[in-house]
Structure 1
Amino acid sequence: MPETPAADNPPRREGGQGRRRHARSLFGEILDWMLAPMLLLWPLSIGITYLVAQAIAAKPYDAALEHTLRQLAAQVQTQGAQGAVRSALWQQTLQNPPAGGIVGYQVRGASGTLLAGAAGLPLPALLPPSHASAALAVVWRDGEIGGHAVRLAAAWTWPPEAPGQARAGPVLVQVAQSMDARTRLARDIVQGVILPQFVVVPIFILLVWFGLGQGIAPLNELQARIRRRRADDISPIDEREAPEEIAPLVESINSLFARLQQSLLTQKRFVADAAHQIKTPLAGLRMQAELAQRETDPEELRASLRQIGCSVERTTRLVNQLLALTRAENQGDVARAVFEPLDLRQPAAEAMQELAMLALDKKLELEFDSPPQPLRVRGHALLLQELIKNLLHNAITYTPPGGSVTLRLRGVAGEGPHPAAVLLEVDDSGPGIPEAERALVFEPFYRVLDNGSEGSGLGLAIVREIARQHDADVTLSEPPSAGHGSRGLRVQVRFRRA
């Protein structure tokens, strides 16, 4: 079936075989499903119409043929076989036959002896009656006489009693009528019914074609509105302007636009934040490099180079955290699709091993407390490892030399509405975070002042985003062991147990 613009799409190639396949046409498929049953049922309707027409055409001719048979049988009952066929009434019937005509008649005795009429009429399978009071039962059948199709009506009757003689046996009366007249009538009925359909059906197809085209016109209008949009216009489509049947499709497109808009906003924010945050350390690196170029004392030059190395390391850490935050925000739905049950002890151990040297360089006591049994959660191993690394890195960064950092894993049973969970806790002996600022530190680039360390302000933002994707809760508090002039900080992440 022809396709409308609403359903047209550029042909696409199938997996590397170079074959091109046209997209399926919604207009064509609907038209096919509407017209195919009709075109299949049309021949069936013609056949049924012909059978019905034959039945309709047979009724008046059968009625006339039965009337003629009963007329002849009545003559036989009163005048006998020979008298009946010579009677004026029967001769008049032969001269003015009923509708359909008479091609032959026959009167036979019970033994099959021809008493009157034509001998070529076939005998019916009809037993003679046992007594004269039996009702006159007419038997119908189709047959052939001289190669022509005929309709035969037959019945047994009793001739009159002769005075002084025993009553004669029953006789068989048959009348035959040609099938030509009723066939012509059936054909005329069929033609009267079918011929107009050859005009009506094409008109119906054109009306269906036109109506379907008008029905999918809103799709064309929706397509035109989308094509007229600017490349940067990803605002939602007004669902009120779309037909109810495609409202779910429009809703899905709007959902896609929303996710795309969120992704673009995240990218724009990343570019702006990256430009702002990297500009300062790069300016510092440039200044340190210029100072190093002016140094003539080897010791001062080495100190400047060490300072440049530290600045490069901090800048690298900043860039890596920016990338990690953006990746975590963009991979939310994708990551959820590949979540699987895993033992949280494994990404925790890998994060501890990766940052152990950093803690040793600061002369910190790094402790890992985990039960021997698996602690299974549902999540993404790399994202969970990134979460733990940021928690540990923050704790190591803000804990002064000689302090301690503890990573603790433990399982807790479900209580009431709270399901069983796995708790991940990182304790440090650093300056901690004032309670008034604990809600603010999860915002990107927010840093607590006067904490004695430099950071990017991205670590806890990354932790919060990854925790959100895993339906986990993050809370900040002081560890129970805080004291002795050090407040410390405990970061607890509560995962649902798998």
Structure 2
Amino acid sequence: MNKKRSLKTQILLRLAVPLIFFISAESVLSYFVTLHHVDAAYDRWLLDSARSLTQEIKVREGKVFVELPPAALEIFKWDESDKTYFKIISEQQGMLAGDKFVPEPFEVQTDWTRPVYFDDEMYGEPVRVVSMSITPEQASEKVFVHVAETLNKRRSMMLDILLADLVPQMALVLLAGIYLVVGVKRGLQPLHKLADEISQRSSRDLRPIPEQHVFLEVRALTDTINDLLERLGLAIATQQRFIANAAHQLRTPLAGLKLQVERAQREQDVSAMKPALTQIQGCADRMSHLTTQLLVLAKSEPIYGAYELRPVDLCKLAKETCMDWVPKALQRDMELSFEGLEQAVYVRGDEVLLQELLANLLDNAICYGHNRGNIVVKVESCPSPCLSIVDDGPGIPEAETNKVFERFYRIPGSQGDGCGLGLAIVKEIADLHKARLQLSRACQKGGTRIELEFKES
């Protein structure tokens, strides 16, 4: 099951995630920068404490000793937050003063040209230690001074600085989040209004969606919907027109059928019923032909579905269709001939619809042509595939050329009992195949020539 996706959520995520990432990265960077500066500041104070102890180292008669009055020692160790420890060691005499548990640098440390800082533990508490080495005047031995201090002040300052840095940032993130939520909500409000407007429409309201207040980014969507509405309106109009035309055309043979049935019912003798029965058969034939034409016309409508056009051998199709219509041509002593090529001529099309197209053209040529006339069906391949049907009938007046392809239109005074759908079906199928349909006179004396030119397959 597909989960519903919210455009609002997607926009907020795409905006909020980078913001949170950059704020987090900046906070981590601020932490390490602050830690470095806090350590640097307190390391300088720790070094000052160690240097103050070196001033208490004295040399008497070549021996090193430490004079550290209790008052000075109290001042040295006094601190409200941290505990301070120290240890002074002589290279030769050993422990001179202080706490023997103060940590010393690792033994591998040999560079005493500058103070050494390191972290360690003392009495279970983490401490920061500085170690330095001096050689007092008039002394031949080195003296090492180690000063350790707990980390309470450092932690307190780190916390104060981080809070001073993070609180405004968190407030900024909160304000930015509120602004994003409100901004996205207001930004999407026109879409909600558009959705509400469309939802309130009736099923018959297919007007285009107004685009005055539509964002440029949404214009592609509204254009697509408007195009769909236009095609849907065309489909509904075509369907309604088809139903209206079908009802109108079926009404006449149905009325005639009913009239002849009533006529037959009034007769007592079977032989007297025969004229009415003949008329009934004629009405039934016309209804059957009309129904078939209407179904073919409905099937040829492109709005009712997309057809998969496949390669079709136009020569083979035309030859087989002509053979099916030879018996009807012989009934009127007409000669139906086919002129094609030995090789196949392929076009992209629907085989059933192309058969219906040619069948309607042959039906018209036979019905409206002269007795003992000629009908020629020809297939050519150059410059492009072309199907032509030529007859020697009375032809179509030039003034009626553009009208004969309209549905249910018949030339005034024309013979036959057609329903005016044959050439309309031909045009629908030709348009479906994107083929060029051309109607002209076969010669100066008359006749009709219809050409159907296809694109290359």
**Shift, 1:353, TM fit:** 5.0
Q: Does 1:250 align with 2:222?
A: yes
Name the structure 1 match of 2:441. Answer: 478
Which of 407, 410, 419 pairs up with 1:447? Answer: 410
Q: Report if the CA contact (8 A) 1:128-1:170 is conserved.
A: no
Structure-1-length-normalised TM-score? 0.78
How many residues align? The count is 454
Does structure 1 retain, via aligned residues, the 8 Å contact 2:321–2:355? Answer: yes
1:126 counterpart residue number: 109
In structure 2, how many angstroms separate the alpha carbons of the residues matched to 1:231 and 1:286? 38
The CA deviation at 1:292 is 4.2
For 2:358, the equivalent position in structure 1 comes to 388
Deviation string, structure 1 residues 166-215 (Cα, Å, up to 9, x no partner)? xx254443322211210122123333444566666555544433333222
CA distance in 1, matches of 2:126, 2:326: 108
Trace 1:280-359 onto structure 2 (pairs within 5 A).
Answer: 280-293=252-265, 301-331=273-303, 334-336=305-307, 338-349=308-319, 351-352=321-322, 354-359=324-329
Distance in structure 1 (CA, Å) of the matches to 2:298 and 2:59: 115
Which piece of structure 1 moves more, 138-147 or 99-108? 99-108
Secondary structure of 1:390's aligned partner: helix
Q: Secondary structure at the match of 1:488?
A: strand
Q: Which moved more, 1:470-479 or 1:53-62?
A: 53-62
Match of 2:380 among 406, 410, 415: 410
Q: Does structure 1 retain, via aligned residues, the 8 Å contact 2:290–2:419?
A: yes
C-alpha separation in 2, matches of 1:23 and 1:180: 53
Distance change >3 Å, CA 363–CA 88, structure 1 → 2: farther
Q: How large is the Cα RMSD of the aligned pairs? A: 3.6
Q: What code does the residue aligned with 1:440 have?
A: K
Contact 1:431 1:451 in 2 (8 A): no
Please, what TM-score do these two structures have when normalized by structure 2?
0.85
Match of 1:225 among 194, 197, 200: 197
CA displacement at 1:266 relative to structure 2: 0.8
1:381 aligned partner, one-letter code: E
* C-alpha separation in 1, matches of 2:271 and 2:431: 49
2:118 aligns with: 141
- Residues 48-67 of structure 1, C-alpha deviations (whole Å, 9 max, x = no match): 55444433432321221233
| Structure 1 CA distance for aligned equivalents of residues 36 and 391 of structure 2 | 100
Structure 1 residues 24 and 351: CA distance shift in structure 2, 3 A: farther
Task: Give the Cα separation in 2 of the matches to 1:368 and 1:74.
Answer: 127
**Matched-pair contact (CA < 8 Å) for 1:375–1:497:** no
The 2-side partners of 1:221 and 1:128 are apart by 76
- Aligned 1:414-429 pairs, distance under 5 A: 421-429=384-392
CA distance in 2, matches of 1:368, 1:496: 22
Using the aligned pairs only, state the percent identity.
33
> What's the CA shift string for 1:259-279, capped at 9, x where partnerless?
111011112222232233333
1:62 equivalent in alignment to 2:62: no
**For residue 174 of structure 1, what is the aligned residue in structure 2?**
146
Note closer, same or farther for the CA distance 1:89–1:345 as it changes in structure 2 (3 Å cut). Answer: farther
The answer to whether residue 373 in structure 2 is matched with residue 373 in structure 1 is no
**Whole-Å Cα distance in 2 between the matches of residues 111 and 311 of structure 1?**
137
Please state how far the C-alpha of 1:492 moved relative to its aligned partner: 0.6
- 2:381 is paired with a residue of what secondary structure? strand
1:434 aligns with 2:411: no
List gaps (5 residues or longer) in structure 2.
none
**CA-CA distance at 1:426 after TM superposition:** 1.4
Identify the residue that residue 488 of structure 1 maps to in structure 2. 447
Unmatched runs of 5 consecutive residues or more in structure 1 = 1-13, 15-20, 130-135, 163-167, 414-420
CA deviation after TM superposition for structure 1 residue 411, in Å:
0.8
* Paired position in structure 2 for 1:185: 157
SS of the counterpart of 2:452? Answer: strand
CA positional deviation for 1:442: 1.6
Alpha-carbon shift at residue 40 of structure 1 (Å)? 6.8
Q: Is the 8 A contact 1:100 1:177 kept in 2?
A: no
- Quote the offset at 1:237 in angstroms: 0.7
Q: Does structure 1 retain, via aligned residues, the 8 Å contact 2:59–2:138? A: no
| Aligned mates of 1:384, 1:360 — CA distance in 2 | 23
Which amino acid is the alignment partner of residue 359 of structure 1?
A: A
CA offset digits 1:316-347 (Å, max 9, x no partner): 22233233323323437x325x2333333454
Q: 2:76 aligns with which of 90, 95, 101?
A: 95
Residue 431 of structure 1, CA deviation: 1.6
Structure-2 change in CA distance of 1:115 and 1:452 (3 Å): same
Shift of 1:216: 1.6
Q: 1:105 deviation in Å?
A: 2.6
Counterpart-to-counterpart distance in 2, 1:331 and 1:352: 30
Instruction: Report how far residue 296 of structure 1 moved.
Output: 6.7
Q: Does the residue aligned with 1:496 lie in a helix, a strand or coil?
A: coil
| Residues 76 and 158 in structure 1, CA contact (< 8 A), matched pair in contact too | no
